[in-house]
Chains A and B, each alone.
Chain A
Amino acid sequence: MLSQSCKKYPAATIWPSTCILLVSNLLTYCRYTCVTGQLSTKIAILNLLVLGGLMWNFWKTCFLRLVTSITGLQAFSWLFGFFDEVSAFVRVHTLPVVSVVIIYLFIEYVAYDSTKRLKRSYTNRLKGASIRNLHKDALRIRPPTLRRSDKK
């Protein structure tokens, strides 16, 4: 698995991105510690989650795909520093915030439906084409593991 990962993604692509994410995450942690004067267990756990996510993704050969989700975590971590202000804002302005969320969900639903139709017309156009099995799927296939009963 790891060797496939190395073939697919040169180290030059992986490690700089990893370092940037980790350093910026640690800076968030330091910033929080300096501002509040106390260590945040929650942010430390988020850091561990980011690190764990990175290692897991690297192992699974999906690093680049999930960089975005880690960046999402990173953004959440940044947001965490302002969590009290945000929650206070939501308490004061509950109605407009909830309205925006409901409108957003409605728009997302309409957009999702429209995208689904576009995807269908695209895949229909490709019907009958001699599509090869996707590399991605091939990479996901794990070698069969030997069961305990087989070893005997």
Chain B
Amino acid sequence: MDLRIPHSEPSPDERAAVDALLGAPASGWDGGDRDVALDGRVARRGLRAIEARRDLLLPAIEAVQARVGWVSKAALDYIARRLTVPPAEVWGVASFYHLIDLEPAPPVVAHVCDDIACRNAGAEDVCAALGAEGAVADGATWKRSPCLGLCELAPAALLVRAGATPTTEVVAPATAAAIATARAAVDGPADASAGARRGDARLDEVRRSVPQAGDASLQLLARVGVVDPGSLDDYRRHGGYRGLTRAIELGGAGVIAELTAGRLVGRGGAAFPTGRKWQAVAGQTERTRYVVCNADESEPGTFKDRILMEWDPFAVIEGMTIAGLTAGAEHGYVYVRGEYPVAAARLQAAIDAARAAGLLGADVAGTGARFDVEIRRGAGAYICGEETSLFNSLEGFRGEPRSKPPYPVAVGLFGKPTVVNNVETLANVPVLLTAGGAAFAAQGSGTSTGPKLYCVSGHVARPGLYEAPFGVTVRDLLALAGGTSRGRPVRAVLLGGAAGSFVGADALDVPLTLEGLRAIGATLGSGVVMVFDDGADLPGVLRRIAQFFRDESCGQCVPCRVGTVRQDEALHRLAARPPAAAVADDRALLAELGQAMRDASICGLGQTASAAIESALALGLGDPVADAPTTGGAR
């Protein structure tokens, strides 16, 4: 390609960050020192080889962000030159992600979650105490963040420190003082895996997030808190890699038969049968195939995948390996959301250990089959959890969804057949194969089989990740979580996150199964169970959800790009307590907006952007008058 790329000089740090990822530039053509005599004799690789490196675009931008704390235009131009990507497209990609700063920023940033779960726990008070958002003091600043996936520890903040060795630190519960202490520390935490300490201390730490940890009856969470997440031997001692052994015995067709018999469906929210997905990829005539683990968990209220990756990373890798062997893929990617640094670090360690033990690589477990896994990090975009947006993001393009059909099983990552599964789905695979499909299907009810993870948060005494079979009720989960936290009655429960729906207190005994919830027009989605008592500021919660979709719409299609804005505006008008006629008009407007977004948006984001709000208004929740917070319960 003949590109015009401005000659601007990146700073030494920016150059070092990019070169650490891409290697030193080979000539003056791709950003090295210009040498008139030599550069004239350089033969550059062909277009195909250049295109094959496009997927390093986002990692290169992230590398500069992590090193410097922001990304200058000179750095973007240097990346454009190194990868032969048009500067306008580099800018388009960099400006898509909210964790990439394109204006000068200090090296230390506290991302303070103000999303619904943290809001419930007083995030607005934390933000108020921190002063003006974006104000820089002592080389640090803070900004509001959508859900950080730390809902069980709410209110939470993530401190990110740029540098040659970038560090991050979770501050939870977040207070202005705790954040100030964390950002004043010179070096940050000594060890990103400090939480992986041994024995009882580890179990105690995990129990803050997984109150059931250590319970022998658990399946998906059996090893969480029990094993050292960095130890392959520990993993194997506790049943690890039995699923892979079984998969190798069964062969590809046998694995698919077991998955089908077990009726495993995807745990990311769409509940597609996993066996059917794998079979569709295995049956493609195209030989190059991919496995993608969707670890871009960004649904507000969801933190299950983070905990699985942090505390049982080998299970995810084992599930991916089985998928690779079954679908005939040689390469897998884990796309981990940018807000999950610890999960990414522990997964990377697990991949390295598995590769060293011959469980990944050119000859997986002596089968002769090749399969390896690479981690890619998101950079702050909810939309990238949508599978085709994820592909675009991973390929180095803007994370905008693609039109379906064609579906990923036929045309997925890099245009090739792709198995894309959620973390929890993949973690279920070894469990299913070890137990056998029939035993797996015996759990739960109807089409909802096997164990399920529930992300319980909000006004409960012990928020956390709970494992229970499909078919438990919200009341059961409330009991597990120690009841409500303030002794007040439950007013509403948000199921499935911001893209899910609210149910009232009358639905506490509805079985949490796919079909049970469908019957009452709700969805389990990613397993979010967020409880609001009668002191909750529901109108504020609804406005935060509307704000979330307004912020996170990718902007590609009109119904979602403008519809989410109009929805947000209508909710603000309602909050101003207008006369009855105006309320009726805005309610009708919201209903029409919801219908058009559901019908005409390209992807699931726009199609579900009105679901929670419409469900709440239909239940009479979030009424600006009736549901305004009562005195003393302003949270």
Partners in one complex: no
List B residues at the A interface (Cβ < 8 Å): none
